[in-house]
Chains A and B, each alone.
Chain A
Amino acid sequence: MYKVQKIYKSYGELKVLNNIYLEFPKEKTTCILGPSGCGKTTLLNILAGLIPKDSGEIFGFEGDKSYIFQEDRLIPWKTVKENLEFVLKGKMDKNRAQEIIDNYLGLVNLEEYKYYYPKDLSGGMRQRINILRAFIYPSKLIIMDEPFKSLDINNKKILMDFFVDLREKDNKTCIMVTHDIEEAISLGHRIVILSEKPSKVKRILDLENYKDRFKLKEEINRELKNGMIVIPLNINT
């Protein structure tokens, strides 16, 4: 289990995260929803080790982890293959890396783009490589910051299916920040709703307990709109 306890974070006088307790079940996808600017990305960046927390404890995030960014963050002067090789360097020998890259590219029908440069790929295709990079990387955990945000509806659907295919193959633990309730319901096993700044965990929903997706969506909507009420959580730490 990946776990965070009593996480606090402020930027100067501005309190962003206020006593965050969370557990992320292994091999499941946890989606974090919350109002704009409530500190979802800050929380992800703390989990990824990109920014320091003010206080609190983090368990299980020490090892290698993958990150799917909002933007593709591909190196422009490297081909698709070289971009993928770049993150595998030093993690395994060259032949093994080659084998994995070929295997994954074949699996998702992207072999023909192996020697393409990012500028020759569409936005959706580049984002697919961004997702593929996260799955190819030998980690058990994938952190995702609104990976489908900048895509049109068609590409979003294609990429969400693409993500689900890869997730089913690898059984990785995924933590995803999103604004989109539909996206969270489609991809998540658990949904965490954060409150307005300074953010607290407002509600945790395990999706297996909800058979009626429409009601679930209504409930999440209600929680997100109802910014003033904070439902206390009992988490055994």
Chain B
Amino acid sequence: MKKFILRDRDLSLYSKILIVCLWIALSRIIDNEIILPTVTSTINGLGKIISNPEFLNILGYSILRSLFGFIISLSIAIVMGVLSRFSKFIYNLMVPVVKFLSSTPTIAIIILALIWLSNEIVPLFVGFIMVFPILYETVLKSILNIDNKILEMARVYNVNKIDVLKEIYLPSIFIGLSNILSSAMGINLKMVIAGEVLSQPKYAIGTNLQIQKIYLNTPGVFAWIIIILAIGKFFEYIMKGLVLCIRSKRYISPMEN
């Protein structure tokens, strides 16, 4: 099993090296910084972006927007998921909402958001419309998958409803969410940045991407992409660490530890 995991990592490393080699080769063949910048000019662009005194502000605001938006989406998904389980009315109310959010082209909703909302709120909203349906459906599915026999046991033993929620529902929701949490957070980050590109808040990665595009500074665009990938990876590690930490405390037996 371990060998298999290592082999996977090796393959992934080879793939990354191959992409960089391909990039170097193509940029030499094309020889045009606007169409495909070289690795050197991208690194120079990265240096310039990082040395900008406002870099930390830009980075911080985008990360905060992404985190804040994700926490809002997650909280609403959990509350609505639990309510949908217990109320037929709310469940049926949510069906068209989720269908609308999942099937309407995102750009159409973004355009409406640009008309209705302030430019600081639009990125959060864009992230929300993308990840909320995923999170809500996962929460609902996790609740519906709870073993009815365990719930019946709690009922026979007259366990308080709040305790049932805390001790049965929430852990089941967490188990369901733990499988998709890091990918949902990645999607949220991408969508928040897309929202920033369109709504142009003062401090935002998306705003700066747009500026680089206007000046046809492709190395700058590439440099920002590298920064976004790094943030995405950072989020992924944080989420995986968090999930592992909680799981090891709650779900793994002392024998295995």
Contact B254 A89 (CB under 8 A): no
Contact A50 B253 (CB under 8 A): no
Chain B residues near A71 (CB-CB < 8 A): 149
Choice from B152, B154, B155, B253 contacting A119 with Cβ under 8 Å: B253
Return the CB mask of B150-188 against A: 1 if under 8 Å, else 0. 101111111110010001100100010000000000000
Return the CB mask of A3-39 against B: 1 if under 8 Å, else 0. 0000000000000000000000000000000000000
- Known A50-B152, A69-B149, A73-B153; contact A116-B167, beta-carbon cutoff 8 A: no
Return the CB mask of A63-84 against B: 1 if under 8 Å, else 0. 0111101010101111100000
Q: Decide if B2 is an interface residue (CB 8 Å cutoff).
A: no
Q: Decide if A90 is an interface residue (CB 8 Å cutoff).
A: yes
Q: Decide if B99 is an interface residue (CB 8 Å cutoff).
A: no
Choice from B160, B168, B253 contacting A120 with Cβ under 8 Å: B253
Chain B residues near A78 (CB-CB < 8 A): 167
Contact B152 A89 (CB under 8 A): no
Contact B156 A77 (CB under 8 A): no
Chain A residues near B251 (CB-CB < 8 A): 76-77, 117
- Known A50-B152, A116-B255; contact A77-B159, beta-carbon cutoff 8 A: no
Return the CB mask of A84-118 against B: 1 if under 8 Å, else 0. 00110111000000000000000000000001110
Q: Decide if B250 is an interface residue (CB 8 Å cutoff).
A: yes
A132 to chain B, nearest CB (A): 13
The chain B residue with its CB closest to the CB of A49 is B156
Q: Decide if A135 is an interface residue (CB 8 Å cutoff).
A: no
Return the CB mask of B217-257 against A: 1 if under 8 Å, else 0. 00000000000000000000000000000000011111110
Q: At the interface, is chain A mostly helix, strand, loop or mixed? A: loop
Contact A66 B157 (CB under 8 A): yes
Chain B residues near A66 (CB-CB < 8 A): 156-157
- With an 8 Å Cβ cutoff, the count of chain B residues facing the other chain is 23
Contact A67 B153 (CB under 8 A): yes
Contact A87 B157 (CB under 8 A): yes
Contact B253 A75 (CB under 8 A): no
Chain A residues near B160 (CB-CB < 8 A): 89-90
Chain B residues near A48 (CB-CB < 8 A): 156
Contact B254 A67 (CB under 8 A): no
Contact B254 A115 (CB under 8 A): yes
Chain B residues near A89 (CB-CB < 8 A): 159-160, 163
- How far apart are the CA atoms of A78 and B150 in the complex, in Å? 12
Contact A73 B254 (CB under 8 A): no
B84 to chain A, nearest CB (A): 23
Choice from B157, B175, B254 contacting A116 with Cβ under 8 Å: B254
- With an 8 Å Cβ cutoff, the count of chain A residues facing the other chain is 27
Chain A residues near B152 (CB-CB < 8 A): 50, 73
Contact B156 A65 (CB under 8 A): yes
- How far apart are the CA atoms of A77 and B159 in the complex, in Å? 17
Q: Decide if A148 is an interface residue (CB 8 Å cutoff).
A: no
The chain B residue with its CB closest to the CB of A86 is B167
Contact B149 A86 (CB under 8 A): no
Contact B159 A87 (CB under 8 A): yes
The chain A residue with its CB closest to the CB of B160 is A90
Chain B residues near A67 (CB-CB < 8 A): 153, 156-157
Contact B157 A137 (CB under 8 A): yes
- Known A116-B254, A120-B253; contact A90-B157, beta-carbon cutoff 8 A: no
B249 to chain A, nearest CB (A): 10
Choice from A76, A90, A137 contacting B163 with Cβ under 8 Å: A90
A59 to chain B, nearest CB (A): 19
- How far apart are the CA atoms of A69 and B152 in the complex, in Å? 10
- How far apart are the CA atoms of A69 and B150 in the complex, in Å? 10
The chain A residue with its CB closest to the CB of B252 is A117
Contact A50 B168 (CB under 8 A): no
Contact B150 A64 (CB under 8 A): no
| Sample (20) of A-B pairs whose CB atoms are under 8 Å apart | A48-B156, A49-B156, A50-B156, A66-B156, A67-B153, A69-B153, A73-B153, A75-B150, A75-B168, A77-B171, A77-B251, A78-B167, A79-B253, A86-B154, A86-B163, A87-B157, A89-B159, A116-B254, A117-B251, A117-B252
> A50-B155, A77-B250 known; 18 other A-B pairs, CB under 8 Å?
A49-B156, A65-B156, A66-B157, A67-B153, A67-B156, A69-B149, A73-B149, A73-B153, A75-B168, A77-B175, A78-B167, A86-B154, A86-B163, A115-B253, A116-B253, A117-B251, A119-B253, A120-B256
The 4 closest A-B pairs by CB, nearest first: A117-B253, A87-B157, A73-B153, A67-B156
